[in-house]
Structure 1
Amino acid sequence: MKSTGKKSIRQELEQLAQKQTPQAAPKTSSPKAHEKLGLNWKDVVIFSMVMFYTALYNINVQAQSMTESAVSFDDITSGMMMSFNKNTGEYHSLQLVETAYDVEVYGLLATISLKQSFYNAKDDWITEGVYAFPMADKSAVYRLKMTVGDREIEGEIHEKKQAEQIYQQAKAAGLTATMVKQHRPNIFTSDIANIGPGEVVSVEITYQLALRYDQLFYELRLPMAIKPRYIPAGFDADLPLTGGVIDHNQRTIEVSLDAGFDLQELKSMHHNVNIEQQFDLHQIELADSQLYDTNDFVLRWYPRREQTPKAAYFSEIKDGFEYSLLMVLPPASSEKSAKPRNMTFVMDTSGSMHGMALEQSKDALLFALSELDETTWFNVIDFDSNAKVLFPASQQATPDNISKALDFVDGFSSDGGTNMAPALQMAMQRENRKAGYLNQIIFMTDGSVGNEAMIFDQIAQDIGDARLFTIAIGPAPNNYFMSKAAMFGKGTYTHIASLDEVNASMGHLFAQLAKPALTDVAVTWNTSDVIQSPSVIPDLYMDQPLVITSKTTLNSTAGRPSFVVSGLSQQKTWSEGLTLNKDGQTNGIARLWARNKVEEMTDDLMLGGDYELLKQDIIDLALDHHLITEFTALVAVDKNPDASRMARAKAAQQVPFPQGSLGWRWNLLMGLMLMAFGLFIQRRTQV
């Protein structure tokens, strides 16, 4: 608006000057610059004053933007609240006062409450604000509470269109209101209406997730950073990426952990913590409140080796159904697969991998290449905005070919966008597969991509008999994309957060790849009255458990439900039976099962399933279990509002002129511009 105003005044002055200038005879002396426009010295003075104050205005705007830069949903280092400027279409961050995580872990289930408080430091009302926050993938978000001053507002689940109507009506009435939506599967946003000047707004989100068990440890990860995503040209992208988040970095994290067994080790991977133990209960507290989001908060605990569970079972009784969460460890294997391997390494060298991430990735790839022997065939693909392949087709891992690969990797540098599709197409095509081999694709990236659905569809369509293993490099990867890509590729996901972990993590991954524990996995129940998630089981690898959720009807006359896990281990049939002993003590299993089913139906949508049918099924399931999905939202409205506050909020929405922090400068600028233009028009009409 500012630059447009400046340009329009100049153009209008020039056009008026050209129209009014008489066709005089040529003069012997050259006209001065301002005379060419038909202006005299008074016009020049007036115009110069306008330009001076316009420059003053722009300088102040630039100074302001240094402390309040525009941000987008994909440019977030942690949960943050933004105000929306309708005139510019930009989002600007509010001051983050504090962040508090309160976590309860019981067995395999974690219930997490995230509370953040923000301060509106401006003298103006914020009629539209947006709270955006990262979330662990497969999280079941089910509760929202917002506090403004002394008012607490609880959220209710509705179909998204209905929630939007409720929110917009409350906003127009001057009521404080909020609505939580799913922006991406691992990023949620909350629209917040009518935040008063000087007010502190607190948002509390509660969600559940099943914990990950891998490599003989359990892991709790609290995602605290989101990296920018690459979106190809022509794709429907969000706002452009910028930066500038105001954050006081006052944070607390408290975890109450009841693992259900004795621990061999409990540790925080990236942050200093205090740990207290009372019998089987561990209390973990973040020691440093000045927590910068360069790393996710990761807590790991290791069961004593003799107590490593072969099977674990938890359930919840709700509304006549039993919902269960169970884990089964596959048989241990010390033998390599009888099949030889054909390995394709895909390496991300885009701009988002610049610096340490690229160095970590190169170290990981060099380690992988050094582990190959001549029984293995391989190829290497490098991609940024474009893809480049080492060999036209897979080659035997001879010393000469390994040397060529090392030179190829040594020349990698980070630049361009994260355009994964061509690289994946190369990796999955016929030239990089071998019949009778274990065809394994090792895909190393930070996962900074915006067109996830297109990539997932490509993997599902073209993976064939190959397996895709994703490796995330860096402290805060896109865990949703990486784990989901591995799921569609029937492989596993490994995260390497720091350079110190490269050799250990890659060594363990290669041991897994050489020793698939169980293929062609199936789960057979003793009753047909079971709805299981996931419905299709991927291959299992060394130290990787089978984790499923299920729903069965309670029947006092029937026996306890049981199932058999079967598959191929070293080309031999293996099976393990388990009868479910009634637990019924764990809260949240029903919601977790529902979240897993929603995820499966969402996958079917991405792969071209019946949109209307799947949409309605997702809505019904989400409303029954109070879940936020692509088609449902949580909406909260202040039902006991302060009348005077409502009036002030409505008045702020009806301000007809631009309001800003420049105060008298804006008024002075506009006044001078109007005066100058008026005087100029008056003079020209008198000529």
Structure 2
Amino acid sequence: MKIPSPVCTCGTVLTLLSLLALFQTTTARKNDIDIYSLTVDSKVSSRFAHTVVTSRVVNRADTVQEATFQLELPQRAFITNFSMIVEGVTYPGNIKEKAAAQEQYSTAVARGESAGLVKTSGRKMEEFQVSVSVAPAAKVTFELVYEELLRRQLGVYELLLKIQPQQLVKHLQMDIHIFEPQGISFLEAKSTFMTNELAEALTIVQNETKAHIRFKPTLSQQQRSPEQQETVLNGDFTVHYDVNRTHSGGSIQIENGYFVHYFAPEGLPTIPKNVIFVIDKSGSMRGRKIQQTREALIKILDDLSPNDQFNLVSFSSEATQWRPLLVPASAENVKQARSYAASIEAQGGTNINDAMLRAVQLLESATRAELLSSGSVSLIILLTDGDPTSGETNPTKIQKNVQEAISGQYSLFCLGFGFDVSYAFLEKLALENGGLARRIYEDSDSALQLQDFYQEVANPLLTSVTFEYPKNAVEEVTQNNFRLLFKGSEMVVAGKLREQSPDVLAARVSGQLHMQNITFQTESSVAAAEEFQSPKYIFHSFMERLWAYLTIQQLLEQMVSASDAEKPALETRALSLSLNYSFVTPLTSMVVTKPEGQEQSQVAEKPVEAENKHRNVPSGGGYPDLLMPGRSLFRGQAGASGSLPSFPARFVPGPLHPPPRPPYMSYPRTGIPQLPERLLVSVPSVPVVPEVFLEADLKTKETVMTSLPPVIIVPPPVILLLPGWFLDRLCVDLRPSQRPLSLLSDPDQGVEVTGQYEMSNKAQFAWIEVTFKNPQLQVRATPEHVVVTQDKRNSAHKWKETLFLVMPGLKMTMDTSGLLLLSSPDKVTIGLMLWDGPGAGLRLLLRDTDRFSSHVGGTLGQFYQDVLWVPPVAADDSKRTLRVQGHDHSATRELKLDYQQGLPGTQISCWSVRL
């Protein structure tokens, strides 16, 4: 259940209480539909996932209620079945050709109803939703089935499940079965909602080829707190895994007359690349977009290999190249390119045509001058946020010009920034030229998205890859020619076995390394392969369905860049397969039947990326920071339950002249004390400023929310608990610096903490980075977000979203207060948090510091070595000298706020040292 936060514009407590009563009544009414069972069963066999979500609900009201089934599923998944069981009668979803369902669809639209039951939701997901009226005490069962082929990106496969029951569920269970004949080499499960209590409900059992992940929380484990009947389950549950590989790189698996060939060889050297970055700097990129683009480009330039060559083309109404020719990615050239990237400013129109032709000319000039190394790979990476507005503006002509210029020699990758870009135009531009298109979502981690994409194409391993099979053995093979294979990815080919095929299926994969051709050969016994399959971990004819899924996906992709003459044949075959295997694709629709007497049947259609063109709408709710006359003010954030702040106040225009700090009642200088015209009452529960007051005008009966300029006590950047017999707190104040600091380094623990403390608008950490060697993990925190990196795979998380990640030897958690902890039974616990009290900023916490080894060092680590107090020479015991590894530091006893407790008003007495 999702209820938008109400906004109160009233000026009286009575109206606010009425609104709260209405809110609670509405909530209770919607809760009359009780989900008493929710199960997710996902079976992954050879990377192909079959997921069944079943929700059972009952209407506990004494009137008819509407029950809504809502689920988010991956965008690359195809829905294969949906059904509702109402009072023992099954109402199935029937998949039809889109044209056959068009009449029902048009009728629903004409009535003003929502005809499309599936819509794009977020970056990777689509939302399926259907509603049905339920009689009192009646039960309904919803069941949705979808399938997808998991793609390998940056070395792992990802199974993403969205969990949003929006209420406590008596029986909630997730079962994920993974079966990989190659053997499972790596497995992890993480979640954005996991708590320590919920972690007890998670079990993982794994052997060489199989894994079973079960999540079965009790009602108490799901509950936010004993006082709040609300669920904490709201977010992502993600499984990452990889499989064992050999230098031959090939694995052929066979089931029920079909085969699939996975190819991702290990140990190949990276091919040098020649890359042109084409950067849109038109006026629409002004502000955050160009800032994030500069940030990402600087990081990408640092990741270039010394064997690479590169150049930059920036464009608005005109295109400008950084250097006349491509240059090697030497340290000096990269340094100069970083300076150039940092100076890019946004203004002018969008001349994509000239910019692309300029990039191609640079590669052609380098080829003619024999500047490109033999066997190297040439790439063009275009980043733009808008439609062409300068020069050639006809998208079809631009596509034609670029295709003719590239002429199959180079690969083009198009990144569309935000939702205003014409994604269909960029997708065709990329697919026609051997690349792909990707949308970059306009968010705080846009720079990270750009870096992640670059990592996917940063390391080409093979070019001109061809898969060959005996013609007498196979038929109807999916795409078997590929331009490029990148490190961390995988090529997949599937097909049918002929009836009289040999007992052994042999395959030959050929490609080009940097300076030579290479051939891989592998084979698989048909009888042995089918015997090896485990029925418990697979579903019926899964490999046939995998073949159909892959074929449809490739046909849909080919249709994007096909000519008008080629499209009908591709569409006919894709439609036929979609109907035969009951897939909801862009060519089919699912007609959802409802019980008689209810709304007409609804139609579910798969959304198309190119159709999703709308401006971003800021997410999240909250209360306004700007005051308007006559409007109530609710400053600060709602509580964990989402409840409204409890104190209203009306804004009265005009200057305020608050009296000095206590007493709050002002008196005349002579005579008998009189009733003040204004009375101030402290309201410390409103967490906006250190002290907030309600000012009541006793003559006009008006009230005003205001604040006094208090004496602010702020927390230090770091609070340390001194080791040994000191058992005292040390508040460390750092001097702002443009250079990163080595805060902690313990080689025995395999942990290092660095950070940059700067003075901009306020003194705070610009970033803190924690690096673990075993397991290899890096966490980089900024005031905007937290980025977790594993094997060059990045994931960004907003502060105060729940996160739970468990891997061998390390656990990472973050809760809704914004406290992120990295802990291990035998390691020091490192905490990061975004403090939003007085002196707001990024803070560092250290726990279990007795686990530091004798080799710990760094700006903060030194305090866990040789530390002693120098005997005081004066009677003033509030000042001391602290000797750390032979260096003396002045320490003063001071009162500071303690950010470690997470409470804005908690004060501590500590020894303050400035470093």
What's the TM-score, normalizing by structure 2?
A: 0.45
* 1:179 and 1:636 in contact (8 A); partners too: no
The aligned counterpart of 1:440 is 379
Q: Distance in 1 between matches of 2:286 and 2:239?
A: 25
Q: In the superposition, relative to structure 1, how do residues 347 and 130 fare at CA in structure 2: closer, same or farther (>3 Å)?
A: farther
Instruction: Indicate conservation of the 8 Å contact 1:315/1:324, yes or no.
Output: yes
The residue that corresponds to 1:522 in the other structure is 466
| Other structure's SS at 2:253 match | strand
Mean Cα deviation higher: 519-528 or 177-186: 177-186
Q: How does 1:60-459 map to 2 (within 5 A)?
A: 101-114=40-53, 133-137=72-76, 139-147=77-85, 151-165=89-103, 195=133, 203-222=142-161, 254-260=175-181, 263-268=184-189, 271=192, 272=194, 274-277=202-205, 279=207, 280-285=210-215, 290-293=232-235, 297-303=237-243, 310-317=249-256, 322-330=257-265, 332-334=267-269, 337=271, 341-344=274-277, 346=279, 362-372=294-304, 376-381=308-313, 389=320, 391=322, 394-396=325-327, 402-403=334-335, 405-411=337-343, 425=356, 428-431=359-362, 433=364, 434-435=366-367, 437=372, 438-442=377-381
CA distances 1:489-545 after superposition (whole Å, capped 9, x unpaired): 54589999999999999699669745x322111112111542221243231133433
The whole-number CA distance in structure 2 between the counterparts of 1:252 and 1:412 is: 52
**Equivalent residue for 1:10?**
none
- Equivalent residues in 2 for 1:558-577, closer than 5 Å: 558-577=502-521
Q: Does 1:612 find its partner at 2:568?
A: yes
Judged with a 3 Å threshold, the aligned counterparts in structure 2 of structure 1 residues 520 and 456 are, in CA distance, closer, same or farther, namely farther
Structure 2 Cα separation of the partners of residues 110 and 563 of structure 1: 25
CA drift of 1:160 comes to 2.0
Partners of 2:508 and 2:445 lie apart in 1 by 40
The residue type paired with residue 626 of structure 1 is: S
Contact 1:345 1:380 in 2 (8 A): yes
Matches within 5 A, 1:539-558: 539-555=484-500, 558=502
- Which amino acid is the alignment partner of residue 378 of structure 1? F
Contact 2:156–2:488 under 8 Å retained in 1 = no
* Residue of structure 2 aligned with 1:595, choices 522, 546, 549: 549
Q: Is the 8 A contact 1:469 1:493 kept in 2?
A: yes
**Pairwise CA distance, 1:262:** 5.2
Mapped to 2, the partners of 1:541 and 1:204 lie a distance apart of 38
In structure 2, what is the Cα distance between the partners aligned to 1:253 and 1:177?
30
Deviation by residue 1:208-253 (Cα, 9 ceiling, x = unmatched): 222223444333234799xxxxxxxxxxxxxxxxxxxx96698975
- 1:421-442 Cα offsets, whole Å, 9 max, x none, are 5597357532455315332234
Cα deviations by residue, 1:53-101 (Å, 9 ceiling, x for unpaired): xxxxxx9xxx99x99xxxxxxxxxxxxxxxxxxxxxxxxxxx9979864
Amino acid at match of 2:360: Q
2-structure distance, mates of 1:524, 1:378: 35
Greater helix share, 1 or 2?
1
Q: Which range moves more in the overlay, 505-514 or 105-114? A: 505-514
Check conservation: 1:594, 1:621, Cα contact below 8 A. Answer: yes
Structure 2 CA distance for partners of 1:350 and 1:268, relative to 1, 3 Å: farther
Determine what percentage of the aligned residue pairs are the same residue.
17
2:211 maps to amino acid: L
Question: Judging changes above 3 Å, is the alpha-carbon distance between structure 1 residues 494 and 111 closer, same or farther for their aligned structure 2 residues?
Answer: same
Determine helix, strand or coil for the equivalent of 1:405: helix
Q: Distance in 1 between matches of 2:591 and 2:452?
A: 47
Secondary structure at the counterpart of residue 489 of structure 2: coil
Q: Give the letter for the 1:301 counterpart.
A: Y
In the TM superposition, what is the alpha-carbon distance from 1:323 to its structure 2 partner? 1.9
Following TM superposition, by how much is the alpha carbon of 1:580 offset from its aligned partner in structure 2, in angstroms? 3.2
Give the whole-Å Cα distance in 2 for the aligned partners of 1:507 and 1:548: 26
- Does the CA-based 8 Å contact 2:274-2:308 persist in structure 1? yes
CA distance in 2, matches of 1:394, 1:214: 32
Q: Deviations over 1:133-169 (max 9, x none)?
A: 55332x3331112355665422222222323457789
State the distance in 2 between where 1:420 and 1:444 align: 12
Provide the residue aligned with 1:531 in structure 2: 476
| Closer, same or farther: CA 480–325 of 1 in aligned 2, 3 Å | farther
* TM-fit CA distance, 1:346: 4.0
Distance across 2 between alignment mates of 1:134 and 1:506: 25
| Partner SS, residue 561 of structure 1 | strand
- Distance in 1, matches of 2:84 and 2:116, equals 10
Instruction: Quote how far apart the aligned CAs of 1:327 are.
Output: 0.7
CA 591–208 in structure 1, closer or farther in 2 if over 3 Å, else same: same
Change (3 A) 1:460 1:326: farther
Contact 1:177 1:192 in 2 (8 A): no
Conserved 8 A contact 1:349-1:414: yes
Of the candidates 579, 589, 600, which is equivalent to residue 623 of structure 1? Answer: 579
The answer as to whether partners of 1:158 and 1:632 remain within 8 angstroms in 2 is: yes
Secondary structure of residue in 1 paired with 2:482 = coil
- CA distance in 2 between counterparts of 1:387 and 1:224 reads 48
- The AA in structure 1 aligned to 2:146 is Y
Distance 1:439 1:177, change over 3 A: closer
**CA separation of 1:194 and 1:257: change in aligned 2, threshold 3 A:** closer
| Residues 563 and 407 of structure 1, relative CA distance in 2, 3 Å threshold | same
Q: Distance in 1 between matches of 2:65 and 2:346?
A: 40
Give 1:486 shift. Answer: 7.0
Instruction: State the secondary structure of the residue aligned to 1:604.
Output: helix
Q: Give 3-state SS (helix, strand or coil) of 1:257's partner.
A: strand
SS in 2 for 1:537: strand
Contact residue 278 and residue 359 of structure 2 kept, 8 A: no
SS in 2 for 1:533: coil
C-alpha displacement of 1:565: 0.7
In structure 2, the gaps of 5 or more residues are 1-14, 24-32, 223-230, 389-394, 601-915
**Structure 1 residues 262 and 630, CA, compared in 2 at 3 Å: closer, same or farther?**
closer
Instruction: Flag structure 1 segments of 5+ consecutive residues without an equivalent.
Output: 1-58, 68-94, 226-245, 651-687
Q: Find the residue that maps to 1:628 and give its secondary structure.
A: coil
Aligned 8 A contact 1:518 1:569 in 2 = yes
SS in 1 for 2:569: helix
Q: Which shows bigger deviation, 325-334 or 464-473?
A: 464-473
Task: State the Cα distance separating 1:593 from its structure 2 match.
Answer: 1.5
Higher strand share: 2
Question: Are residues 1:634 and 2:565 paired?
Answer: no
Q: 1:314 to 1:145 in 2, by over 3 A?
A: farther
Q: Distance in 2 between matches of 1:141 and 1:535?
A: 26
In the alignment, the residues of structure 2 paired with residue 439 and residue 445 of structure 1 have an alpha-carbon distance, to the nearest angstrom, of 20
Change (3 A) 1:124 1:571: farther
